[in-house]
Amino acid sequence: MSYYDLAIQPGVWKNGTASEAGRRWFDANLVRWFNGRLRPIGGWEKTNSGALTGTARSIIAWKDTSGLKWIAVGTHEKLYVFSGTSGTPSDITPTSPALVVGNESGSAGLGYGAADYGEGNWGDARTQTSIVVDATTWGFDVFGQILISLSKSDGYLLYWDPGATNQTTVKAARVPNAPSSNKAVVVSFQRHLFALGAGGNPKKVQWSDIEDYDDWTVTATNEAGDFELDTNGEIVAGLKVQDKILVWTNQDCHVISWIGPPYIYNRVKSGDQCGVISPQSMSVMEGHAYWMGHSGFFMWDGYTRRLECDVNDYIFRDINVTQESKIYSVTNKKFGEIWWFYCSSDATEIDRYVIFSQKEGWWSIGQLDRTIMMDSDPFKRPVGIGSDKFMYEHEIERSGTSARSDSVSSPSGTDTVGLQNRVLSRGLTSSTDVGLQYASTGNIEIGKGDRIVHGTQMVTDHSAGSNGVRFAFTTRSTPDGSSSTTSTVNPQSSGYTDVRFSGRSLQYHVESPFDQDFDLGKIKIDLKQGGRR
């Protein structure tokens, strides 16, 4: 016997063909690598009984001064608060004046201005679709315990105080004296309220007096102020990072720093050709900022730099550009990960994700229906909202060693992943479920790839209940030639599992039913070398 060690390094590589990927994972879904071992993404459960009005696009959580935990959610029609992760949402949408209802989805602009000047006849709709009308998202931050929000549908700064009497019956209201037609909002560490793209000026940054979000008038005795960024782009978003504020345009990135009176803040451009792809495509973890641009991923750790991404080509060939405004980023600090959610090329709603592991350096991909998600703080687990407009608690670990929960059934395909509970369990009575948790390698050539090899037996290293994980192999004689895939096999309790396959290259596939828990180490294959034909 000659055992071949299938020790595949963590993460997916998908910047070329399966043959170029070789001894790397080439595809994956609902899995991660943690401490070098392959395991499933944690489970999720629906937490609230009432569906939201409108599609959720933005979310924030915080504690008030009494210690109560709140979640605010912005849809394209409404603004809601939850007092915890369960229960019925409270509608705090402003009514006087009323919130302008926004766009549920992005759309291609065909009206006035949608083509080059002088083309066509005056008043005729354009046939070009180069102008995109964005889906409506929100900007959120907190000023002490007060929620500050801004819907991109009208650009007004709003506030809502959880300390008010009967607070869930109180509607959000416009911030007095604040500029209008803003693009984004940030509260600085020094407690100034920042309006970005202030007053409809796409380059203007304006802030209130310190500790006073009502006072925006610049005087010799306060700290209100403003300036314009040196950019050819338009402001899209801003975020606190370390003791600074990063402001992104659609073309570049700027760092705003506190310097004190008389100028209060200064600004420095941190990078060109690194603008964000959407208003929520950035996250902060451990003092570093990470974001998705128009053709790649970037980070800021004091300097702006491009992230080497093992799935970059796959992601940017697959995005529905009309729905780019829906793209958002979220951290998962428990596992040291940054996630981005986006619409695939054939989808009009969020259905895909890409993960970067800051902790271990790998990338992964998958499919999941979540229109918005947030990390666990200040709650125990991350929280997301699906296209069904219900809230789900995420990363629920398996408890005990019981087999599948009676309330869980495997979806028939990836389209509905996320819109039902997923309780991780240990073992099944059947191994015929659709394997929606999986990882597959590229085409692995044995030796020089010029001889046929015959696989006869696996030596497994895993932790899973009965039928909780299974394996298959696909072989080819040439990269573009026809393929042959074995039936899936379950690992045997002896640690030796018989397989039968022959070819010049092989793809290794591991899968698990929708809700099954497992972790997987190195696998060895007994290979015998054959002839050249």
For 187-232, how does the pLDDT look when each residue is reduced to its tens digit (9 = 90+)?
999 999 999 999 999 999 999 999 999 999 999 999 999 999 999 9
pLDDT higher than threshold 50 for residue 117: no
Cα distances from 62 to residues 91, 103, 374, 455, 503, in angstroms, run 17, 27, 11, 55, 57
341-356 in b/e burial notation, b at 16+ Cβ within 10 A? bbbbeebbbbbbbbbb
Task: Report the sign of the C-alpha dihedral through residues 430, 435, 438, 443, in that order.
Answer: positive
More confident residue, 157 or 481: 157
- Between CA 449 and CA 168 the distance in angstroms is 67
Query: What integer pLDDT is reported at residue 118 of this predicted model?
Result: 46
pLDDT, mean over the chain: 92
pLDDT digits (tens, 9 = 90+) for 8-30: 999 999 999 999 999 999 999 99
Confidence category of residue 115, pLDDT binned at 50, 70, 90 = very low
More confident residue, 502 or 450: 502
pLDDT digits (tens, 9 = 90+) for 364-404: 999 999 999 999 999 999 999 999 999 999 999 998 888 88
Query: What integer pLDDT is reported at residue 87 of this predicted model?
Result: 75
Comparing 79-93, 127-141, 346-360, which segment has the lowest mean pLDDT? 127-141
Query: What integer pLDDT is reported at residue 429 of this predicted model?
Result: 76
CB atoms within 10 A of CB 312: 18
Comparing 213-227, 381-395, 412-426, 498-512, which segment has the lowest mean pLDDT? 412-426
Query: What integer pLDDT is reported at residue 157 of this predicted model?
Result: 98
The mean pLDDT value for 275-302 works out to 97
Sequence-separated contacts (24+) of 337-344 with Cβ below 8 Å? 337/32, 338/283, 338/285, 338/290, 339/373, 340/281, 340/292, 341/368, 341/370, 341/373, 342/315, 343/319, 344/318, 344/319, 344/320
